[in-house]
A and B are shown apart, each in its own frame.
Chain A
Amino acid sequence: MAGIYLHIPFCRQACHYCNFHFSTSLNRKNDFISALLKEMEVRRDYLGGETVETVYFGGGTPSLLETEELQVLLHSLRAFFTIAPGAEITLEANPDDIDIDITAASRLRAWREAGINRLSIGVQSFFEEDLRWMNRAHDARQAIACIRMAQEEGFDNMSIDLIYGGPTLPDSHWRENVERAIGMGIPHLSCYALTVEPKTALDTMIRRHQKADIRPEDQARQFLLLMDWAATAGYEHYEISNFSLPGHRSRHNSAYWQGKNYLGLGPSAHSYNGVSREWNVANNARYIEAPGLVVEKEVLTPVQQLNEYIMISMRTMEGIDLGVLAERFGAGQASVLRERAEKYVRAGKLKLAGERLQLTKEGKLLADGIAADLFF
């Protein structure tokens, strides 16, 4: 059981906070599609014939692809890989690509027909001032409209992204954003604390005092509020930034967190086969020149594998399974970890549920530092 990720490295407009790999020039989109098809062929054996349970079009903005392009890509994927009949096939979409013009409904239908059965929509906020502050391409009206359209076209399995903790989002607006998402019956929410990544436009603007800096205490408070609201509405907080109604977890992302194998296609995409991880060049021109050229590969030592297991599984609702850990990395390591975790259990940051070490609500605010401290 494995997953395939396809990175579509184009955007119409750069969001100020984004540090993913993308280009706002669509000139080479055709060349890119050809390169991506070529890479599928080159790397068709990477997953060793494993059945592909999930496919994820991420970016960038995959929704700016023409429907024909999506169809071709999905067709070729089926030719080169074994895609399970019930596979989860997600498309990241921007509201402005859904609520685009009078062709909106037919585009959505074409996506469905091509095999897309899950949408992840980059809504971010339902408030105009927020969207402008982030330099999003859509407005508040489109944010709502696109969800309705997608639902009308039968995309029940849907996620939206929301961003909190920015200076333009008071708690009252944050509450409205979450309530609206819940109220619209969206079964999956990815809620991200606004992060100032180095070398982004946002970073520069903050350093030049053109934008207010983010305040960790606001982020912590809004995160805690979110956890309460989501729990009340029956959502599982199944990963630090992900909430879902039962049965609606992202299978693709869950596979990352369960340490399953994945193949990443497209510039900057990462692949993992349980032992090593490798990634493609994060440059469109160079990718098009040599599709599938891996720029870097790391073979994970057992300690690195263990550390990754700690780091990732701790972020999930299930937590670190000491039993599984003992099986994979040795009983000694498991008992060392249990001992090290003790002070966090006493401090109320971790709790031990049977054999599982899980973050408490307070602990979720500090997951990175705790993970680093538990590292081997």
Chain B
Amino acid sequence: MKNIRNFCIIAHIDHGKSTLADRLLEMTNTISQRDMQAQVLDDMDLEREKGITIKSHAIQINHTHKGEKFVLNLIDTPGHVDFSYEVSRALAACEGALLLVDATQGIQAQTISNLYLAIGNDLEIIPVINKIDMDGAMVDEVKDQIIELIGCKPEDILLASARTGVGVPEILEAIVERIPAPEGNPDAPLQALIFDSVFNSFRGIIVYYRILNGSIKKGDIVQFVSTGQSYGADEVGILKLTLDPKPEVRTGDVGYIITGIKNAKEVKVGDTITLASNPHPEMVQGFEEVKPMVFAGIFPVNTDDFEELRDCMDKLQLNDASLTYELETSQALGFGFRCGFLGMLHMEIIQERLEREFNQTVITTVPNVSFVAYTSKGEEIIVNNPAEMPDPTRIDRIEEPYIRAQIITKPEYIGNIMTLCLGKRGILINQSYLTTTRVELVFEMPLTEIVFDFYDKLKSQTRGYASFDYHPIDRRDSDIAKMDILLNGDKVDALSALIHRSRANDFGRKLCEKLKELLPRQQFQIAIQAAIGAKVIARETISALRKDVTAKCYGGDISRKRKLLEKQKEGKKRMRQIGNVEVPQEAFLAVLKLDD
């Protein structure tokens, strides 16, 4: 056990985490040059493309230091705010962390929040400044930022270029020498922390864990504490580039277990594995049920494809337990699913995975957060869907979720960020200069305000020089209203939105304008209205199509004309009928395009 080191890398997107991981694997000969594919750990296509890690991974590195053999377990963590709970569990499985900071960029908001999580978990922090060979590297300034943040000595900070390999041997040395070996009692009953799981279509769910006490053997009957379920350990082992089966995985080590579980829902990140016959009396601390934060409807483009979509959602959930969904029926879109996501990125990922891995084109409806409505009779109703909002006359009050948002930026953008966040009903809680050129702003804000166009606006208002992180804090009373969109008087349920009353007029007007652009002219006039209850707050009119007839239809025109009209007919088939109005699919995505 004294020769095991468990560590992770804390870094902002693009600061070089995956490249550093690749170099560590290469220099220790964990993988041959031949198997080397840039960013080995990111094995989902989507991850490689977005340059981020969506799911955590782990890999064992064998390293000889001063003649002694060491096992280094690198636990890779997801790099996005939506997945902060998964990050916290990965951190809990480590004794140390590399704090990797891009010399040209400096520390970013998310790095800080993950760093605090790591410090909170008593991890040994090894600061590394990466990309020191790049033009624009500000090594001294970044050093100051790091010292300011973690109070280390300047000589504790390592300098490296993961790209070229400079400084990587020193990093390996620091991992061995500075990070403490795991502690734990090999003779105690099994206590292992689940920090991730993946779905394998041949083997079912593969669970990744870190053993805190005891050991796990092939053939053991294990129990997952939070669910109370027991399973046989069909296979246990350690994580190399591929699974490496072992008869036993011991205290302090990181490993996997295969039990034949088919559904990711049964495996909860943060849960404790113990032995059914000899359970450990304590669960590993910090377990939480992951709750979805953002909800939206997902519908098949063709109503006929619902069963196929259901199939795909089932499969997708097998390897992404954080995705929740239930059946939803829309008058406009037919059968579909109300889905819960960890955040907007998660929603985007699910949509893209449906398209790429399952070949499903879907319509996603207006996203919303989870509100709680209290009726005058004292009932508490959770509202994840505009349709669930009780009639205003029955409502006593509504609560909406708030977040603590942390933004790090250059001082010249403070004004823009203040304007943006106050406009989003934010409350400034703190402002502090990390260095003379970096300032941290902390706001409390309604989560619903960041669901729509916050990221894009933040980016454009700061020319990309702002990093953002958030955590849910509480729920607060709020004046939330359900806004409906009507086409010639008929409600389009798929376009209803739950929105703060102060934003409704502006939002309604923009949405009506966008719909006017997206709806084709028809043979009659179309009134587009936004309304709260019976009160219309915005209106646009599409005048009737005045003329739609070809001038010439002679011998040489007939084929072309027929094909044109056949195509038109096909297009119409894909439209949805709302009352007498035909609505193309793009229109249902209007809300997501409001600020285009």
A: which residues have CB within 8 A of B? 5, 192-193, 195, 216-217, 219-220, 223, 239-241, 253, 256-257, 262, 264, 268-270, 272, 277, 279, 298, 304, 307-308, 311-312, 315, 347, 349, 364-369, 371-373, 375
Contact = CB atoms under 8 A, between A and B. Distances in A.
Contacts of B562: 304, 307-308, 311
Interface of B: 523-524, 545-556, 558-559, 561-562, 565-566, 568-569, 572
Given A311-B562, A371-B565, A270 B556 contact: yes
A366 B554 contact: no
Contacts of B552: 192, 195, 241
Nearest to B520: A369
B566 A312 contact: no
A315 B561 CA distance: 13
A307 B524 CA distance: 24
B550 A368 contact: yes
5 contacts: A312-B553, A369-B523, A369-B568, A375-B566, A375-B569
Given A270-B558, A308-B558, A375-B565, 11 more contacts: A240-B550, A240-B553, A257-B553, A307-B562, A307-B566, A311-B561, A315-B553, A364-B549, A365-B549, A371-B565, A375-B569
A196 B299 CA distance: 38
Contacts of A270: 555-556, 558-559
A148 B411 CA distance: 83
A277 B559 contact: yes
Given A264-B555, A270-B558, A365 B546 contact: yes
Given A216-B547, A220-B547, A369-B548, A268 B572 contact: no
A308 B566 CA distance: 10
A268 B523 CA distance: 34
A213 to B, nearest CB: 14
A219 B551 CA distance: 11
A372 B569 contact: yes
A164 B554 CA distance: 19
A108 to B, nearest CB: 25
A355 B561 CA distance: 26
- Identify the 8 closest CB pairs spanning chains A and B, nearest first: A372-B565, A192-B551, A220-B546, A367-B549, A372-B568, A220-B547, A270-B556, A216-B547
Contacts of A195: 550-552
Contact of B548 (A192, A315, A366): A366
Given A192-B551, A217-B546, A277 B565 contact: no
A325 to B, nearest CB: 16
B547 A219 contact: yes
Scoring B523, B548, B553, B568 by chain A CB atoms within 10 A of each residue's CB, the highest score goes to B553
A375 B562 CA distance: 9
B574 to A, nearest CB: 14
A369 B565 CA distance: 8
Contacts of B565: 307, 311, 368, 371-372, 375
Nearest to B524: A347
A96 B562 CA distance: 35
A315 B553 CA distance: 9
Nearest to A298: B559
B586 to A, nearest CB: 19
Contacts of A349: 523
Secondary structure dominating the interface of B: loop
Contacts of A367: 548-550
Contact of A366 (B547, B555, B566, B569): B547
Contacts of B559: 270, 277, 279, 298
B170 to A, nearest CB: 62
Contacts of B555: 5, 256, 262, 264, 269-270, 272
A20 to B, nearest CB: 8
A279 B553 contact: no
B547 A373 contact: no
A366 B556 contact: no
A368 B563 CA distance: 12
Contacts of A277: 558-559
B569 A368 contact: no
A217 B551 CA distance: 15
B547 A369 contact: no
A365 B566 CA distance: 19
Contacts of A311: 553, 558, 561-562, 565
A219 B568 CA distance: 22
A366 B522 CA distance: 10
A268 B556 contact: yes
A373 B572 contact: yes
Nearest to A366: B548
A336 B562 CA distance: 19
A372 B558 contact: no
Scoring B524, B545, B554, B572 by chain A CB atoms within 10 A of each residue's CB, the highest score goes to B554
Nearest to B522: A369
B552 to A, nearest CB: 7
A297 to B, nearest CB: 10
Nearest to B551: A192
Contacts of B553: 239-241, 256-257, 311-312, 315
Contacts of A5: 555-556
A107 B556 CA distance: 29
B547 A365 contact: yes
Contacts of A368: 548-550, 565, 568
Contact of A369 (B545, B556, B558, B566): B545
A262 B557 CA distance: 13
A25 B568 CA distance: 37
Nearest to B543: A217
A99 to B, nearest CB: 26
Given A192-B551, A256-B554, A298-B559, A216 B572 contact: no
Scoring B547, B548, B572 by chain A CB atoms within 10 A of each residue's CB, the highest score goes to B547
Scoring B548, B555, B559 by chain A CB atoms within 10 A of each residue's CB, the highest score goes to B555
A223 B546 CA distance: 11
B547 to A, nearest CB: 4
B519 to A, nearest CB: 15
B566 to A, nearest CB: 6
Contacts of B556: 5, 264, 268-270, 279
Contacts of B554: 253, 256
Nearest to A263: B555
Contacts of B545: 216, 366, 369
B562 to A, nearest CB: 5
Nearest to A164: B551
Nearest to A282: B556
Contacts of A279: 556, 559
A237 to B, nearest CB: 13
Contacts of A365: 546-549
Nearest to A5: B555
A124 B551 CA distance: 14
Contacts of A257: 553
